[in-house]
Amino acid sequence: MALINKIREKSGIAVTVIAVSLIFFIVGGDLLGPNSMFGGGNNQTLGEIAGKEIDIQSFQNRLDVMRQNYEAQTGRAAGEQEIVALREQAWNQLIVDIAYKEQYEKLGLTVTDEEMVDMVQGNHISPSIQQAFANPTTGAFDKSAVVNYLKNLKTLPLPQQQSWAEFEQNLRSDRLRQKYENLVRTSTYVTKAEAEKEYMAQNTRASLRYLYVPFYSVPDTTIKVTDSQLESYLSAHRDEYKGVSTRTVQYVTFPVLPAKDDSAALYTEIKTLARGLASAENDSAYARMNSDIAMPTDMSYASMSDQLKEAVTTFVPGGVYGPYREGNTYFIYKYNGTKKDSLSTVKASHILIRPENPSDSAKEVARQRAEGILGQIRGGASFEAMAATNSADPGSAQRGGDLGYFQNNGSMVKPFEDAVFSMSGTGLIGRLVESQFGFHIIKVTDAKSNTLYRLAGIAKTIAPSQATRDEAYRKADQFAGSVKTKSQFDEAVKADKSLVVATANRLPESSSNVNAIQNAREIVRWAFNDKTDINDVSQVFETDDQYVVAVLTGKTDEDEVKIDDFRDELTAKVRNQLKAEQITSKLGAVGDLEAMAKKYGAGALLETANDISLATGLLSSAGFDPIALGKGFGLQKGKKSPVFTGENGVFVMELVDRTEAPQIADYTPYKTQLQQGIESRASFLLNEAVRDNAKIVDRRAKFF
C-alpha cells in the first residue's frame, strides 16, 4: 500500500515531465533553433533598406501575392526556379518602394490620377497596357478592350480585381522610375571641349618606336613573393579589394544515369508508339498526349536535327520516321506534307569591316579594305579563313563568318537582310553591303526557303528507374559515411578512380547553383552554416539527376579582407612589380634603343607602331596598353621617354612622327557619341548609386 501511495505522489511529476517533453519535441526546433528567441537569434528580420527593417512575414506576404498573380496568369503552379525569380523581384520591389521613394519625395516627383488614366485609356497608353490588351489575332492594341474590362472590373472575382490593382500600382511605380531616370539622363551634358578631346584622340595619328620587355619574359619561378609583401600591397590598395562573404567547396558527384535496361524499355515503348502514331486518326492529338516534350507541328528545314534533315528526301505523306536518338531522348515523326510560311529562312556567312570612327575618311579606309578582301575571295581565297582573320564580328569570325539560319523578320539590320534575301540561290554576293555597323562581305550558304514540313512528333526521354536511383544513392551514401575530413575525402577519391573532384570557388551566399549544378541551394546553405567548419564533409545532397558530397575548403568574410581571399590576384600584382624593378635595373640609363635591347638580351623586343590613334591604338606585342600609348603620344618628335612600367611590361617609348588631327568646325558627331555612351550607362549607374546610398543589408540567404 505504501508503494502505491508513493507512485501516486510521483505520478503528477511524471505527467508534467512527459507533457513538457512533448512540447519541446513538437516546437523545439522553433524555440531552440539558431534564429529562435531562446537560441539567441531574431528570425523575423530579413534585411534592412534605407534604415527600415524588413521582417520575414511582410516579405512573405508580398511574395505570396506575386506568386498567386503569376499562377493566375500562367495557369500553372510556380516551380522552384520561378519562385527564386519571384523572390528576387519582390526584394527589388521593396528597394524601389523604400530607397527610390525617398529620392522621389526629395525631388517632388509624383504620378497623378490624371496621368494614370492617360496611361491606361488615354492618349499616351503604357506599353504594358498595349501588350496586355493586344488583339490575339492581329497583335494590334485594342483600346476598346481596356474600356470594357474596366467597366466590368467590379463584377470579376476578387483575385482578378486584386491582380488589376497591383498591375496599376506597378504602372505607377514604373512611370515614377522612368521620370526619375529621365531627369538624371537629361541632366547629363558633354561640353565642346570634351567632344574636341575625343575627336583629337580618335584622329591624331602617331608613329612610335619602342623597347618593350614583357613581364612574361621573366619566369615566374625566379620571383619569390612573400606574405609580408602581399600584406603590404593589400594595405596600400585596400579600396580595390572589397570584402565579400564567400565559400569554396570541392565535391564529387554520383550521377543518376539511365541503365541499359532503362534504355531498352524505352526503345520498346517508342516502337509501340510509332505504330500507334502511324494508325492514329488524329495524329497531332496522339503525339501531344504521348510526348514528354512539346513538339512543333510545323518545322522548317533549318530547325530540323541533322538526322531528320537526312530523311527529308525520303518523306512520304503518312510515313513515320525514326526513332532518332539525341542524348537521352528518342524522337519519332509522322510526315503530313508541306505548306508555305509567310517568312523565309536562309543561312549565310559574313565578314564585317568596321570603320575606326564615324568620320568620312575612316569609312573610306574601311571601304577600301573591304573591297580588297572581296577581291581576294573572288580570286579564290577562302571565305572562312578571311573571316577568321579580318572580321570585326568576333562571334561569327571564330566560325568562319557563319551566322547560322535566320528569317526575314527584322532580326538582321535591313540592308543586310535585303541583300541576303534578294539572292535566289547560294554563293558570294558580289558587292559590299553597308550598314550602321560597317561594310559586310556576304556569302549565302543555304538558299532561302519558305517551306514548312507538317510533322506530328513524339519525344520520349529515358528516365532512370527507381532501382537505378537507389543504386546511385547507395554509392553516394556509402562514400559520405566513410569520410569525415578533407584528408579522408581525398583518400577515398584516390581509391575510387570513377570519381572526379570539382571545385566551386568563392560561392556567394545567395547562389542557387554550384558551377553547372542547378538547384544546389542546399549545398550553399550547408557551406554557409555557422556549424560548418573548414575541411568538414557534407551529407549526401540530391540535385536534379545526381547526388553530391561536398567538403568545405575555403571561407572569405566581407568584414575582414585577408590576403588568402585574393592570393592569386595579389601574387600576380606583386610579382609583376618585382619583375618591373628587376627589368628596369637591368635596362639602365636610356640611350639608343637598339643598343639597350642588345645589352638587355633575350626578352627585349624592339618594335614599331605606325599611324595609330590614342583612342584605339594597338602595340604589336603589348596589345592595348593605355599607359604606354599615353607616354608615347605625350612626347615631342624625336624624343624618348624614361624607362617606365606599363600594363604588361616595361617600356621605353620614342615618338617618330605625329600628325595632328585637322581642325573641324563641327564636333557634333563626337559629342553625340559621348552623350549616347553616358546616357546608356545612366540607368545602371543611378541604380547603383541609390542602392549604395540605401546601405542595404540583405539576409535573405539565411531564410531561403
Say which range, 13-27, 38-52, 204-218, 491-505, has the weakest mean pLDDT: 13-27
How far is the C-alpha of 534 from the C-alpha of 249, rounded, in Å?
A: 9
* Tens of pLDDT, residues 274-316: 999 999 989 999 999 999 988 988 998 888 888 998 999 899 9
* Tens of pLDDT, residues 258-272: 877 778 888 889 999
Is 24's pLDDT higher than 70? no
CA-nearest of 576, 508, 448, 438 to 246 is: 508
The CATH code belonging to domain 258-463 is 3.10.50.40
Cell of 480: 559520405
What pLDDT score was predicted for residue 14?
A: 40
Q: H or E segment at 398?
A: none
How far is the C-alpha of 704 from the C-alpha of 701, rounded, in Å?
A: 5
Cell of 547: 547526388
Say which range, 41-55, 409-423, 500-514, has the weakest mean pLDDT: 41-55
Band (676; pLDDT cuts 50, 70, 90)? confident
Is 511's pLDDT higher than 50? yes
CA-nearest of 352, 348, 371 to 426 is: 348
Strand order in the sheet with 605-613: 605-613, 205-214, 649-659, 644-645
Q: Which residues pair with 210 in a beta bridge?
A: 607, 653
Is 33's pLDDT higher than 60? no
**DSSP symbols for 70-86:** HHHHHSS---HHHHHHH
3-state secondary structure string across 264-306 = HHHHHHHHHHHHHHHHCCCHHHHHHHHCCCCCCCEEEHHHCCH
Cell of 171: 504602372
Q: Is 227 helix (H, G, I), strand (E, B) or coil?
A: helix
How far is the C-alpha of 628 from the C-alpha of 86, rounded, in Å?
A: 48
Q: Is 515 helix (H, G, I), strand (E, B) or coil?
A: coil
* Torsion angles phi and psi, residue 522, rounded to 5: -65, -35
* Tens of pLDDT, residues 135-149: 877 778 888 888 898
Check if the beta carbon of residue 518 is closer than 8 Å to that of residue 524: no
CA atoms within 13 A on the CB side of 582: 18
Is 39's pLDDT higher than 60? no
Check if the beta carbon of residue 59 is closer than 8 Å to that of residue 95: no
Q: Is 455 helix (H, G, I), strand (E, B) or coil?
A: strand
What pLDDT score was predicted for residue 43?
A: 60
Is 191's pLDDT higher than 90? yes
* Tens of pLDDT, residues 446-460: 889 888 999 999 999
Cell of 260: 541499359
* Tens of pLDDT, residues 570-587: 999 999 999 999 999 999
* Tens of pLDDT, residues 608-665: 999 999 988 889 889 889 999 999 999 999 999 999 999 999 999 999 999 999 999 9
What mean pLDDT comes out for the span 432-441?
93
Q: Where in the chain is the domain with CATH 3.10.50.40?
A: 258-463
Is 32's pLDDT higher than 70? no
* Angle ∠(100,105,107) on CA atoms, nearest 5: 100
What pLDDT score was predicted for residue 29?
A: 39
* Torsion angles phi and psi, residue 492, rounded to 5: -65, -40
Is 48's pLDDT higher than 90? yes
How far is the C-alpha of 665 from the C-alpha of 697, rounded, in Å?
A: 52
The overall average pLDDT reported for the chain is 88
What mean pLDDT comes out for the span 538-561?
92
Q: Does domain 246-257+465-560 have CATH number 3.10.50?
A: yes
Q: What percent of the chain has pLDDT over 70?
A: 94
Residues 6 or more apart whose Cβ sits within 8 Å of residue 280: 286
What mean pLDDT comes out for the span 542-560?
91
Cell of 275: 505504330
How far is the C-alpha of 409 from the C-alpha of 166, rounded, in Å?
A: 35
